[in-house]
Structure 1
């Protein structure tokens, strides 16, 4: 039974990381589910209040990282809320339209198109903003990866 539990937990960890590049998959929820699976198969007694406090803080940080990274990079590159919404839409749609490159092209095109339609700026400025959305996405993936690695390592330290 232990092998099955750790196999399920490991698959949930992998799905959490896949969710970083396919945002339709809820990374944070897969991590939370892996902790619940451990508790069901073994015991929730291993998880003290400090464990849940730290993990909940990091879950909140995961959710806000996307928004803050996108907002910061778009503002730095001259974008607006329209660019942010376009980038987010492109991020969700891009991977389905263009399977591998859509994760980069989607946010870029979404931000460019949104800025061109809403603010009627020059094409070169819109491209600059689109690049900012890609920089923000890549930055958020790196930061969220580090947070998730910390969450998993902390989980393993607590339970092993």
Structure 2
């Protein structure tokens, strides 16, 4: 049974890494579930404190992923229209274009929102670029955390490897 939990856990960790770039998969949270599953193994000593801390970090990073693109629009001179456009573009882009829509939806939405607020295409481009940079930064943070969680998973397994076999 412990080997099955290990396999399920490693699959969740790998899914978390993929989820760092695919919006419908919760990246860091999936990786955290992998660590949680491994902790349910009889071969591993259950560590509540570690699990709580890593859960809080994963939840925080997941929340940041929605906030960072909006901050990017604001920092690069976006108006309220640009912020709303980026948010709407995120949702519509995801629905229409799937995962690639996460990248282009907020960008197009921010441009549209800025142009509705009477800005030119050239003036709208800078805040839209902020949303794109924000998305890339958010994905990078999620990827790094998912890799760290995979390292934690493998470290826990390695520590208790003799109990598995």
Q: Please state which band the TM-score falls in when normalised by the shorter chain.
A: 0.7 to 0.9
CA shift, 1:34, in A, is 1.5
Rg comparison, structure with higher value = 2
Instruction: State how far apart, in whole Å, the 1-side matches of 2:66 and 2:102 are.
Output: 16
Is residue 30 of structure 2 the alignment partner of residue 30 of structure 1? yes
5+ long unaligned stretches in structure 1: none
Runs of 4+ in 1 over 6 A off after TM superposition: none
* 3-state SS in 2 of match to 1:52: helix
Aligned counterparts, 1:1-160, within 5 A? 1-42=1-42, 45-49=45-49, 51-99=50-98, 101-117=100-116, 119-160=117-158
Q: Is the contact between residue 86 and residue 113 of structure 1 (CA under 8 Å) also seen in structure 2?
A: yes
CA shift, 1:126, in A, is 1.4
Q: Which moved more, 1:93-102 or 1:9-18?
A: 93-102
Tell which has more relative contact order, 1 or 2 (C-alpha 8 A, sep 6+).
2
Instruction: State how far apart, in whole Å, the 1-side matches of 2:133 and 2:9 are.
Output: 31
5+ long unaligned stretches in structure 2: 159-165
- CA pair 99-63 structure 1, distance change in 2 beyond 3 A: closer
TM-score of the superposed pair, with normalisation by structure 2: 0.76
Q: Which moved more, 1:82-91 or 1:30-39?
A: 82-91
Q: Is the contact between residue 111 and residue 128 of structure 2 (CA under 8 Å) also seen in structure 1?
A: yes
- CA pair 66-10 structure 1, distance change in 2 beyond 3 A: same
* 3-state SS in 2 of match to 1:41: coil
Q: Is the contact between residue 69 and residue 140 of structure 1 (CA under 8 Å) also seen in structure 2?
A: yes
Q: Deviations over 1:35-59 (max 9, x none)?
A: 232233336634252x135313422
